[in-house]
């Protein structure tokens, strides 16, 4: 079985003010967290979908959507609906804090805030968050001799190229793969050769076959502007072994 090392918690900071984001980033990176940043709702939704952060820090005032609206969108997204959300705002009125909590936030912090308090609030949210190690990681059963794949107790019919692509990804779980890297490793192109659209098309077709919901993939995940990664327990059959044995 190929396993994945437990990564540091990922925190998504959403604030229209780049200086505030820099303060949050610097503070929480010192705590060992992986930081993501967004200055608007559109970017935030994309990052949340692709990276599934462990805690979200959300500003009330955004350029394209209110923090309350964005919170509602996040709460409707698979894999993010249970993620703790810390609202931050320069509103001093207790009404905003109450409304933020009513809209689905887990905690509220007024600006300007002390970095020590921010760190403490995030640590508390991480303690209350769903156990990341217990979150669903799909199992992919691969029979190299029979060139067959089983997921959720069903056989998945793949083309030879799709099989090779999934096999390669499952042998490198948790690693980042650029499209050019996959062209070299799966298609055997020389460096710089091949069309990255070939990779995108095969990834899309593969997701249609192996994912419960291809729009929210659990196994083959895109990292925007960087490439792809595989999130799975890959189980390789022994000689003569069938899925479920």
Could you state, in order of their start, the residue ranges of all structural domains in the chain? 10-134, 139-236
Copy the structure tokens of residue 238. 């022994």
Say whether pLDDT at 234 is over 80.
yes
Copy the structure tokens of residue 28. 């929480």
Q: How many CB atoms sit inside 10 A of residue 152's CB? A: 11
Mean pLDDT value across the chain: 87
Interatomic CA distance for residues 233 and 4, integer angstroms: 8
Copy the structure tokens of residue 226. 């960087």
Say whether pLDDT at 50 is over 60.
yes
Q: 156: pLDDT confidence band, cut at 50, 70 and 90?
A: very high
CATH fold, domain 139-236, is Arc Repressor Mutant, subunit A (1.10.10)
In degrees and rounded to multiples of 5, residue 221 shows phi and psi of: -110, 135
pLDDT of residue 164: 96
Copy the structure tokens of residue 195. 């069309």
Contact assessment for residue 33 and residue 11, using Cβ atoms and an 8 Å cutoff: yes
DSSP lists the bridge partners of residue 2 as: 234
Say whether pLDDT at 240 is over 60.
no
The predicted-structure confidence for 178-193, as pLDDT tens digits, reads as follows 999 999 999 999 998 9
Longest dimension (CA), the chain: 68
3-state SS string over 111-128? CCCCHHHHHHHHHHHHHH
Q: 2: pLDDT confidence band, cut at 50, 70 and 90?
A: very low
The predicted-structure confidence for 144-153, as pLDDT tens digits, reads as follows 988 999 997 7
CATH fold, domain 10-134, is Rossmann fold (3.40.50)
Mean pLDDT for 95-116 is 87
Say whether pLDDT at 25 is over 90.
yes
């Amino acid at each position: 079985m190929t396993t994945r090392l437990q990564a540091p918690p990922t925190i998504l900071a959403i604030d229209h003010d780049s200086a505030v984001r820099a303060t949050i980033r610097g503070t929480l990176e010192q705590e060992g967290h992986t930081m993501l940043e967004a200055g608007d709702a559109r970017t935030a939704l994309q990052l949340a979908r692709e990276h599934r952060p462990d805690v979200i820090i959300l500003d009330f005032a955004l350029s394209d959507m209110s923090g309350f609206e964005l919170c509602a969108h996040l709460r409707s997204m698979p894999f993010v609906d249970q993620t703790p959300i810390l609202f931050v705002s320069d509103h001093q009125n207790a009404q905003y804090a109450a409304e933020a909590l009513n809209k689905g936030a887990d905690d509220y912090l007024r600006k300007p805030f002390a970095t020590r308090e921010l760190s403490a609030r995030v640590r508390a949210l991480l303690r209350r968050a769903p156990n990341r190690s217990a979150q669903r990681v799909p199992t992919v059963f691969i029979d190299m001799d029979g060139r067959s794949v089983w997921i959720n107790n069903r056989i998945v019919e793949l083309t030879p190229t799709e099989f090779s692509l999934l096999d390669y990804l499952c042998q490198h779980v948790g690693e980042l793969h650029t499209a050019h890297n996959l062209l070299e490793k799966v298609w055997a192109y020389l460096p710089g050769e091949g069309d990255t659209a070939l990779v995108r098309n095969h990834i899309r077709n593969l997701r249609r076959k192996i994912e419960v919901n291809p729009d929210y993939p659990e196994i083959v995940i895109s990292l925007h502007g960087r490439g792809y990664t595989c999130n799975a327990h890959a189980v390789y059959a022994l000689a003569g072994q069938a899925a479920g044995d």
